[in-house]
Amino acid sequence: MFEKNGKDVYLIRHGETPWNFSRKIQGQKNPPLTKLGRRQAGAAAGYFSHLRRTDFKIFSSDLKRARETAKCFSEVLHKRILYEKGIREIALGDWEGMTPEEVDFHFDDGFKKWLLKPSRIIIPGAETIKDFQARVKKAWDRLLPKLHDGNTVIVTHGGVITALLAWWLKADFDTLILRLVIDNGSITHVRVSATRVIVMSINSVSHIHHFLER
């Protein structure tokens, strides 16, 4: 059972970027959305317009791909965007801008090793996963008292959503990051009460398929 009077929070992964398309590691680099990415963002925002809910708060990472996605929500929901630097994607240092194959070539099969146990890999210039998780938790703790009593949209990144889910579900981050898909433009819905966070759905993308098929 879950509390009927909880606050609904919707975690949105930003739309596609050119680096998503070309399989480049983004981290905290700042590519914009592609044309498809803007359509994904519009489809996600449009989903909320059909819910007939008008009371929202919108929070967003300050990276460009999240800001552009959040702008679609701002236009549809007629709410301003509040930015939170703490929900940026994990910083991946020297790997940023490379494909997995390039990482393996330049860093002694680094990506292949990462796929076995991400938290054990030290990437030059990057955040450790432990530090990243701590940053995301602190950001959530800052956002928690600011959540709307009804509905809150948080536009962020796949790694951030995975870190939050690992914390809420008491799951291993390495396992989730390797086995859980968080698609561009997807919606992950949680309900927040005074005592706990209930995960309602993860990586919902039906709105995108419906929009793109029209």
The active-site residue out of 16, 89, 96, 127 is 89
CB atoms within 10 A of CB 52: 6
Is the pTM higher than 0.85? The answer reads yes
pLDDT at 142 over 90: yes
CA distances from 191 to 69, 114, 181, 201 (A): 22, 32, 20, 10
**Domain assignment of residue 139, given as a range:** 7-92+129-213
Residue 203 lies in a domain: yes
pLDDT at 171 over 60: yes
210 is catalytic: no
What's the pLDDT at 152? 97
CATH number at residue 49: 3.40.50.1240
Residue 110 lies in a domain: no
What's the pLDDT at 49? 81
* Amino acid symbol at 60: S
Residue 113 lies in a domain: no
pLDDT at 170 over 90: yes
> Hey, what are 12's tokens?
């949105």
pLDDT at 151 over 70: yes
Q: How far apart are CA 83 and CA 66, in angstroms?
A: 10
* Amino acid symbol at 181: V
Residue 105 lies in a domain: no
- pLDDT tens for residues 79-115? 999 999 999 999 999 999 999 999 999 999 999 999 9
pLDDT band, very low/low/confident/very high, at 210 (cuts 50, 70, 90):
low
Q: How far apart are CA 136 and CA 142, in angstroms?
A: 10
- Mean pLDDT score, 54-69: 94
Query: What total of structural domains would you count in the chain?
Result: 1
What's the pLDDT at 50? 76
- Mean pLDDT score, 134-160: 97
Residue 23 lies in a domain: yes
CA distances from 208 to 65, 147, 164, 165 (A): 17, 26, 23, 22
What's the pLDDT at 25? 98
Mean pLDDT value across the chain: 94
User: Between these two residues, 53 and 75, which has the higher pLDDT value?
Assistant: 75
Strands (E) in 26-164, as ranges, are 56-60, 81-83, 151-156
What's the pLDDT at 177? 98
Specify which residues 83 forms β-bridges with.
60
What's the pLDDT at 209? 74
What's the pLDDT at 208? 84
How does DSSP assign 2-40, residue by residue?
Answer: --TTPEEEEEEE----HHHHTT---TT------HHHHHH
Residue 30 lies in a domain: yes
Residue 75 lies in a domain: yes
50 is catalytic: no
What's the pLDDT at 55? 85
Q: How far apart are CA 113 and CA 67, in angstroms?
A: 32
Residue 37 lies in a domain: yes
Q: Using a pLDDT cut of 70, give the percent of the chain over it.
A: 94
How are the residues of the chain apportioned to helix, strand and coil, as percentages rounded to the nearest 5? 45, 15, 35
- pLDDT tens for residues 18-56? 999 999 999 999 999 999 999 999 999 999 887 766 689
